[in-house]
Amino acid sequence: MWSVLLNSNTQWVLFSTMILGIAAGTVGCLSYWKRQSLMSDALAHAALPGVVLSFLLFREKHLLILISGAAFSALIGAFFIQWIRSSTRIKEDAAMGMILSIFYGLGIMLLTVANRTAGNQSGLSGFILGQSASMVQTDVWTMLILALLVIAITVIGFKEWKIYLFDPQFAKGIGMSLKGMNSLYTIVLVTTIVIGIQAVGVILIAALLIIPAVSARYWTHSFKKMIIISAALGGVSGALGTLISALGSGWPTGPFIVMVASSLFIVSLFLGKEKGIVIQFWQLRIQRKQVRQQQLISPLIAKKEGQ
């Protein structure tokens, strides 16, 4: 275990997945309050065709090239979701489901073609479940820079995000462009997705966006504290999941990161300060005890006052 930890490449990957988890946890809170958690899943699946097409066009596995293709494909998916929602009677969740299925099916078809033309040496299958072991230092730097950019945009524009998410009419009234904020939200979401597809995979990156945010909701009602807690849970999930996967040979990173995040969710579900099942049970028990005491004391007080 110590030899794995002392390996410089493992340390870089651990650090990058931790930053990725922080970015995903932060952006996941925006998706949670925008009530578009499924959007992250749809766009993650929509990114797969772009990854494969980039490889087929450039015959290069440079991460920046692949995630550029993924971003372009995901943005096209987001455009189609918006177009279907605004131009037809199909609801947004149904549109997301359609785009998710169509783009992912196209991606798998292109992946089959890429594997055959490259003699099964394309290595793109790692983008489905994630394979951080294949990352080189340039990949890590690319992930770090983009993840830090996403975090910076969210932190610097915190007040604007809060107004945009909780009171869009007021935001419009003070001159804030809702279309501009929608576009920025989509760009931030897509960026988070595409930088995580190699480490976590297109299938499971949505879980890293959704689970930490939902877990954080069990600990606080404050939007600011929720972002901080979600970012912390995402960072822990990314680092610990990567460490566990590094201990094995050929273990995919994504599933372990998601399992760590799920474990933290279970802890939050039961022990969360605000909505945890155990905490609510004890609060309810204390309230019932206070009510019974009040019921016993009230007649005595009334009797004493009557005398």
**CATH code for position 126:** 1.10.3470.10
Task: Please report whether residue 284 resides in a domain.
Answer: no
Residue 1 confidence class, pLDDT cut points 50, 70, 90: low
pLDDT in tens, 203-237: 888 899 999 999 999 999 899 999 999 999 999 99
DSSP states of 28-83 as a string?
HHHHHHTT-HHHHHHHHHHTHHHHHHHHHHH----HHHHHHHHHHHHHHHHHHHHH
Would you put residue 272 in left (φ > 0), alpha (ψ -120 to 50) or beta? beta
* Separation CA 258–CA 160 (nearest Å): 30
> Helices 63-87 & 92-117, crossing angle to 10 degrees?
150
Structure token digits, residue 210: 């959704």
Report if residue 181 sits inside a domain: yes
Q: Calculate ∠ Cα 205-73-202, nearest 5°.
A: 20
> Quick check: is 192 in a domain?
yes
Task: Tell me whether residue 296 is in a domain.
Answer: no
Residue 186 lies in a domain: yes
Measured distance CA(179)–CA(234) in Å, rounded: 29
Q: Would you say residue 217 lies in a domain?
A: yes
As a whole number, mean pLDDT of residues 103-122 equals 80
Percent of the chain residues topping a pLDDT of 70: 89
**pLDDT at residue 298, as a whole number:** 65
- Please report the pLDDT score of residue 196 as a whole number: 87
Let me know if residue 129 belongs to a domain: yes
Range of the domain at 149: 2-275
Residue pLDDT, tens place only, 44-69: 999 999 999 998 888 877 778 888 99
Q: Is the pLDDT of residue 297 over 80?
A: no
Could you read off the pLDDT of 186-197 as tens digits, one per residue?
999 999 998 888
Q: What average pLDDT score do residues 253-282 get?
A: 88
Residues in the chain, how many? 307
Task: Tell me: pLDDT of 250 over 80.
Answer: no
122: pLDDT strictly greater than 90: no
Least confident of 90-99, 142-151, 160-169, 196-205: 196-205
Q: Please report which confidence band the pLDDT of residue 4 belongs to, taking 50, 70 and 90 as the band edges.
A: low
Mean pLDDT score, 109-131: 74
pTM: 0.86
Question: Given this model, what pLDDT does residue 115 score?
Answer: 80
Pick the more confident residue, 133 or 213.
213
Give the per-residue pLDDT at 193.
92
Please tell me whether residue 91 adopts helix, strand or coil conformation: coil
Q: Check pLDDT > 70 for residue 276.
A: yes
281 falls within a domain: no
Q: Tell me what the pLDDT averaged over the chain comes to.
A: 85
Tell me what pLDDT residue 56 has: 87
Asked whether residue 2 carries a pLDDT value surpassing 60, the answer given is no
The Cβ of residue 212 has, within 10 Å, a number of other Cβ atoms equal to 33
Query: Between residues 246 and 71, which one has the greater pLDDT?
Result: 71
* Number of independent structural domains in the chain: 1
